[in-house]
């Protein structure tokens, strides 16, 4: 996997050897995050190992292409972005990050996890080559789900 200046898409990775953790996540957050990571990587064949670290950098031309194809506006955007970059043959790399869990910023897990779990297969289905053959009501439903939050 490429890193740094040679990649079109660079994603911060909290679990790399050169990453620095200044404080640990609560065990529940860690467990839910690892399960979501496993599901997201499995369903979308993501080229990154850390799907929840929010730091992502893209070259300008790749960012324009990805933004034009990404319909996801909810909390699964973190996995939709590298998925669309991969679909456009952008090289992807990961870099270590200095990271601290901030207890003041909270994701309402119980309010959004069901939306995130439905959005994962929705991302895949909305990008099937046969999407144009989906009934309009199903395609519209999936598009609306990708915008929930």
149 pLDDT band, cuts 50/70/90, is very low
CB 25 within 8 A of CB 101: yes
Domain that holds residue 91: 4-145
Closest CA to 50 of 80, 17, 12: 12
Q: Rounded to 10 degrees, what is the CA torsion of 137, 141, 143, 149?
A: 160
Closest CA to 40 of 83, 87, 86, 84: 83
- Structural domains in the chain (count): 1
Other Cβ atoms less than 10 A from the Cβ of 26: the count is 10
pLDDT number for residue 132 = 66
Specify the pTM: 0.79
At 110-145, the pLDDT tens digits run 888 888 888 898 888 877 776 666 666 666 666 665
At 67-104, the pLDDT tens digits run 888 888 888 888 998 999 999 999 999 999 998 888 77
d(CA 120, CA 8) in angstroms, rounded, equals 23
């Amino acid at each position: 996997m490429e890193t740094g200046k040679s990649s079109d898409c660079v994603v911060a990775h909290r679990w790399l050897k050169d990453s620095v953790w200044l404080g640990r996540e609560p065990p529940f957050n860690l467990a839910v995050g690892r399960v979501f990571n496993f599901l997201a990587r499995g369903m979308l064949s993501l080229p990154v190992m850390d799907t929840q670290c929010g730091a992502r950098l893209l070259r300008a031309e790749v960012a324009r292409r990805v933004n034009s194809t990404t319909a996801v506006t909810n909390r699964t955007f973190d996995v939709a972005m590298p998925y669309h970059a991969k679909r456009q043959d952008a090289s992807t790399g990961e870099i270590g990050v200095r990271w601290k869990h901030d207890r003041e910023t909270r994701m309402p897990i119980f309010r959004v996890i069901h939306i995130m779990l439905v959005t994962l297969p929705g991302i895949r289905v909305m990008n099937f080559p046969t999407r144009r053959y989906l009934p309009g009501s199903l395609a519209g439903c999936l598009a609306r789900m990708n915008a929930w939050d």
